[in-house]
């Protein structure tokens, strides 16, 4: 199980192209999102800070309910009505998006950032022709005429690998297969040449073989056009295949960030360690598959101190009281950081796993 490749699956690999612009293109700082629910206020996103450089793909991983999707929706400004951003900044190309009105955001969504959703069937308008859905962005934002937008849609359909685009243009989403629908979603996301595409588990609802095709497509498109990605998933091999950097979320907070290979092969947070130990497809050296005990924390009344401490095998008394912000690791690569107060123990555990049984 030891090989140069970190996954058992395809080898699309991260795009080799480095950051296209100096400094982050998207910078999220101290983002808080709260959801008003019947049983109290859910702190879905609780102080998340992220950076994405131009042309970079960032993986955002964590279990269901860790706040990954809410973070994406907050960036795009499409939170559900009961959720709202309570504080923080989302700076895209030097402009803070948080104070912008919905109509101001409409000029940014599409030409600057766009999104690919998890379920392409429900994310496509069932009564609108696929071609028109792709052409809508260019019609609205680029001032294209109907025919010019249609040409643009056909070109995009060709680019994302939809066969026979002239005929498929007039089809409806229900006439497409799952993989083809997701290609349509990607064509929509690309339609106005955005700088960043937010992907919310775009391969989770697809067959494994189709997943790989879609990932290769995304990797190729990013390399070709230099578009940045934030890729939300709970699928670690997918992150390893597509992203250069990864941020691990737990209970609405980031617990570890850094280079994909460093984080997945040599985790410095017990939660990340639990993730790689429990993921059969990740090329992490382990004795056997181990599940993380316990269940995700309540986001209405989160645990004190480190939110992972009730499930953590290394937890100490101070973990229960001290707040645990991300701290840069000495000697790590760019933005290699962990929230763990006792990350050395994690390091020892990884070393022990390497020695093997």
Partner 1 sequence: MTFVFRRLLMLIPVAIGVTIVVFFMIHLIPGDPARTVLGIHATPQRIAILHRQWGLDRPLVSQYWLFMDRLMHGNLGQSLYYGVPAAGLILSRLPPTLWLICYAAVLAVAVSVPLAMIAATRKDAVRDHVVRAVPLVGLGMPPFWVGILLVYALAIHVHAFPVSGYGTGFGGHLHSMFLPALTVAIALAPVVIRSLRASMLNVLGAEYITTAKSKGVPGPRLFLRHVLRNAVIPAVTVLGINIGFLIGGTVIIEFIFAIPGIGQLMINSIFQRDFPVVQGVTLVFGVLVVLVNLLADLSYAALDPRVRFDR
For partner 1, the binding residues (CB under 8 A) are: 73, 76-78, 81, 102-103, 105-111, 114-115, 117, 119, 122-128, 136-137, 140-141, 172, 174-175, 185, 188-189, 191-192
Task: State the nearest-atom distance from the C-beta of 125 to partner 1, in Å.
Answer: 4
Phi first, then psi: give them for residue 43, nearest 5 degrees.
-90, 80
Q: How far apart are CA 160 and CA 333, in angstroms?
A: 34
Q: Are strands 228-233 and 196-200 parallel, antiparallel or unpaired?
A: parallel
Q: Are 63 and 233 spatial neighbours (Cβ–Cβ below 8 Å)?
A: no
CB-nearer residue toward partner 1: 108 or 242: 108
Q: Are 117 and 189 spatial neighbours (Cβ–Cβ below 8 Å)?
A: no
Identify the helix (H) or strand (E) that includes residue 346.
Answer: helix 343-355
CB-nearer residue toward partner 1: 202 or 297: 202
Task: State the nearest-atom distance from the C-beta of 134 to partner 1, in Å.
Answer: 10
CB-nearer residue toward partner 1: 6 or 76: 76
DSSP 3-state assignment of 344?
helix
Task: State the nearest-atom distance from the C-beta of 148 to partner 1, in Å.
Answer: 17
DSSP 3-state assignment of 216?
helix
CB-nearer residue toward partner 1: 109 or 311: 109
CB-nearer residue toward partner 1: 6 or 192: 192
**Interior/surface letters 35-57, b for 16+ CB within 10 angstroms, e for the rest:** beeeeeebbbbbbbbbbbbbbbb
CB-nearer residue toward partner 1: 81 or 330: 81
Q: Are 13 and 219 spatial neighbours (Cβ–Cβ below 8 Å)?
A: yes
Q: Are strands 253-259 and 95-96 parallel, antiparallel or unpaired?
A: unpaired
Task: State the nearest-atom distance from the C-beta of 336 to partner 1, in Å.
Answer: 31
Task: State the nearest-atom distance from the C-beta of 126 to partner 1, in Å.
Answer: 6
Task: State the nearest-atom distance from the C-beta of 335 to partner 1, in Å.
Answer: 27
Task: State the nearest-atom distance from the C-beta of 233 to partner 1, in Å.
Answer: 17
Could you say which DSSP state residue 109 is in? B
Q: Are 315 and 332 spatial neighbours (Cβ–Cβ below 8 Å)?
A: no
CB-nearer residue toward partner 1: 191 or 253: 191
Which residues on neighbouring strands pair with residue 232, listed in sequence order? 60, 200
């Amino acid at each position: 199980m030891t090989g140069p490749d970190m996954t058992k699956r395809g080898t699309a690999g991260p795009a080799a192209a480095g950051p296209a612009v100096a400094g982050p293109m998207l910078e999220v700082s101290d983002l808080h999102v709260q959801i008003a629910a019947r049983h109290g206020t859910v702190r879905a996103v609780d102080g998340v800070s992220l950076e994405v450089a131009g042309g970079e793909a960032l993986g955002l991983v964590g279990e269901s309910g860790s706040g990954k999707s809410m973070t994406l929706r907050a960036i795009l400004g499409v939170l559900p009505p009961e959720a709202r951003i309570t504080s923080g900044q989302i700076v895209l190309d030097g402009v803070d998006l948080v104070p912008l009105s919905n109509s101001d955001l409409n000029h940014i969504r599409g030409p600057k950032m766009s999104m690919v959703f998890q379920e392409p069937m429900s994310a496509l308008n069932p009564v609108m022709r696929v071609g028109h859905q792709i052409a809508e962005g260019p019609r609205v934002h680029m001032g294209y005429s109907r025919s010019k937008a249609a040409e643009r849609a056909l070109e995009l359909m060709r680019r994302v690998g939809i066969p026979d685009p002239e005929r498929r243009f007039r089809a409806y989403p229900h006439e497409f297969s799952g993989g083809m629908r997701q290609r349509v979603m990607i064509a929509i996301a690309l339609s106005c040449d955005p700088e960043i595409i937010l992907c919310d588990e775009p391969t989770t609802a697809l067959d494994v073989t189709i997943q790989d095709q879609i990932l290769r497509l995304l990797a190729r498109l990013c390399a070709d056009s230099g578009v940045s990605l934030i890729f939300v998933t709970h699928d670690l091999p997918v992150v390893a295949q597509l992203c250069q950097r990864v941020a691990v979320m737990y209970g609405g907070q980031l617990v570890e960030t850094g280079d994909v290979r460093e984080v997945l092969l040599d985790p410095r947070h017990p939660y990340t360690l639990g993730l790689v130990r429990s993921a059969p497809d990740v090329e992490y050296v382990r004795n056997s598959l181990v599940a993380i005990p316990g269940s995700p924390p309540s986001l209405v009344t989160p645990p004190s101190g480190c939110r992972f401490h009730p499930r953590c095998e290394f937890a100490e008394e101070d973990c229960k009281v001290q707040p645990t912000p991300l701290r840069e690791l000495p000697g790590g690569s760019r933005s290699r950081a962990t929230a763990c107060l006792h990350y050395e123990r994690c390091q020892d555990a990884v070393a022990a796993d390497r020695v093997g049984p």
